[in-house]
Structure 1
Amino acid sequence: MRNATVLQKTDAVILCGGRGKRLGAVTKDMPKPMVMIGKKPFLEILIEYVSSFGFRRFVLCVGHKKEAVEDYFRNRKDGVTIVYSEELDGKLLGTGGAIKNAEGLIESEAFLVMNGDSFAPIDLGKFFGLHEQRGKDVSMVLTKASGRNDAGSVRLNETDEVIGFSEKESVDRETYMNAGVYFFNKTVFRNIAPGVHSSLEYDLFPALVNSGIYGYVTDADVIDIGTPERLEKAKTFFMGGLKR
């Protein structure tokens, strides 16, 4: 189980600063990833799933209502180390800027990146092996777009290399949806300017298309908590307990 051993020394970075405006009062006092699913915050479910593949060190990128995250996870004693990368002075950095802000805390040469408000039940060990094999800066998990018009879409060639992106309004049946789960190599940081707002989806990834981003296509459904309707679906999904 080489990958499991390697993943113990591989950092997992989770983007936890989402405000969750579409969830209304639910996120008044907490960031979106801290919304409760049964008796646990959604973020805790993510951490437990990721750690089941061997990951032991997590970098949480926090901003909005960061105290809710830090207070909840302060006294964990389950063998997992959590460190925090904080947006300062209320400056919104975006997904790309948040990753750049965490650069000094990331210790492994390759690292996992996840959105803190979505979940894709994939084999992270297999995904990591594919990322290593391809040797590029970015690998991303993709799923069928399934007619959604709010997520944008990704186009692949015959070798699963990403060849383009489409805006949210132009999803078609031949494209895939970004699931919000990635492996990055540290060399990707040279493509992100420090201290400024930057988006992975709209700034970094389009700029890297010609240098090689690979997709990892899965049939698994992506669960997200971005709207009240999807939050209720997430609660139903996790009700029976999460199995790998």
Structure 2
Amino acid sequence: MIKEAIVLAGGFGTRLQSVVKDVPKPMAIVAGKPFLSHVLHFLKKNNVKKVVLAVGYKYQFIESYVMDNLQDIDLEVKFSIENEPLGTGGGIYQAFNQISGESAFVLNGDTFFDTPLQDLAHVMEANDAEIVFALKKVANGERYGTVKLNENSSVADFSEKSFSDEVVINGGQYLMNRSIIDRFPLTGNFSIEKDVFQRELPQIKAFGKIYDGIFIDIGIPTDFEKAQNMLQNVS
């Protein structure tokens, strides 16, 4: 069982400025509480004990919230502070310095995907994988890169945004082994998706599994509003 997770919580929330101002995107209020609260509750429900928050932009809001609510959060929380933007890749690589195990769950701090999280560990073990993605079928992929699987559920391809009627996307949730960091030692600001997952895919033991749980990405105002009702009774 995997007990540690990294949450990417350093987003600027640029596309949400019309509805959320002056706080990091994970602190946007959704269904009566910061969106980050829903993510942390999900982790606790899935038997995670320690979370490293990769923070940057106005991280003091997140730090203050966590410290004021530690008893309710009931997780060991560490902060990986980005003094300058590191992108998803740099943020994850830096946060892994505070992970004690060989693998950790990685979650986007602006996405909620209700999956049986520990199932990713079973997929990793069964396939001797380095990374396992939680995937979701969506009506269209115009906002997301799409994922194609081989028959054995290994990842065949990460594609650009798609306008097809139904596509499979990365749900912003995966289990990653630190061997990826050791083999591809990038530094500074970089994208984990483009600079590692896509570019180095032939060299990575990457697998995926499709789940049908509730999925919402609050990155744009319309989906932010949808999340208000969607998460009302989830956590």
Match of 1:219 among 202, 212, 217: 212
Residues 36 and 42 in structure 1, CA contact (< 8 A), matched pair in contact too: yes
CA–CA distance in structure 2, aligned partners of residues 209 and 142 of structure 1: 17
Q: Which runs of 4 or more aligned residues in structure 1 lie more than 4 Å from their structure 2 counterparts after TM superposition?
A: none
In structure 2, what is the equivalent of residue 19 of structure 1?
12
Q: Write the letter of the residue equivalent to 2:136.
A: T
What CA deviation, in whole Å up to 9, does each residue of 1:79-124 have, x standing for no partner? 3110000111xx2111011011112111111110000000111111
Match of 1:200 among 180, 183, 192: 192
Distance 1:151 1:85, change over 3 A: same
CA–CA distance in structure 2, aligned partners of residues 172 and 160 of structure 1: 21
In structure 2, what is the equivalent of residue 82 of structure 1?
77
CA–CA distance in structure 2, aligned partners of residues 184 and 26 of structure 1: 33
In structure 2, what is the equivalent of residue 107 of structure 1?
100
Q: Write the letter of the residue equivalent to 1:177.
A: I
Structure 2: gaps spanning 5 or more residues: none
Q: Write the letter of the residue equivalent to 1:97.
A: G
CA–CA distance in structure 1, aligned partners of residues 21 and 112 of structure 2: 22
Paired residue total: 232
CA–CA distance in structure 1, aligned partners of residues 197 and 131 of structure 2: 8
What CA deviation, in whole Å up to 9, does each residue of 1:158-181 have, x standing for no partner? 11111111112x353574111000
Instruction: Confirm or deny that 1:125 pairs with 2:118.
Output: yes
TM-score normalised by structure 1 residue count: 0.89
CA shift, 1:39, in A, is 2.5
In structure 2, what is the equivalent of residue 3 of structure 1?
none
Q: Write the letter of the residue equivalent to 1:53.
A: N
Task: Write 1 or 2 for the structure with the bigger share of strand.
Answer: 2
| Matches for 1:1-244 after TM superposition, within 5 Å | 6-7=1-2, 10-75=3-68, 76-78=70-72, 79-88=74-83, 91-168=84-161, 170-172=162-164, 175-210=167-202, 211-239=204-232, 241-242=233-234
Q: Write the letter of the residue equivalent to 2:92.
A: I
Q: Write the letter of the residue equivalent to 1:157.
A: N
Structure 1: gaps spanning 5 or more residues: 1-5
TM-score normalised by structure 2 residue count: 0.92
CA shift, 1:143, in A, is 1.0
CA shift, 1:147, in A, is 1.4
RMSD: 1.7
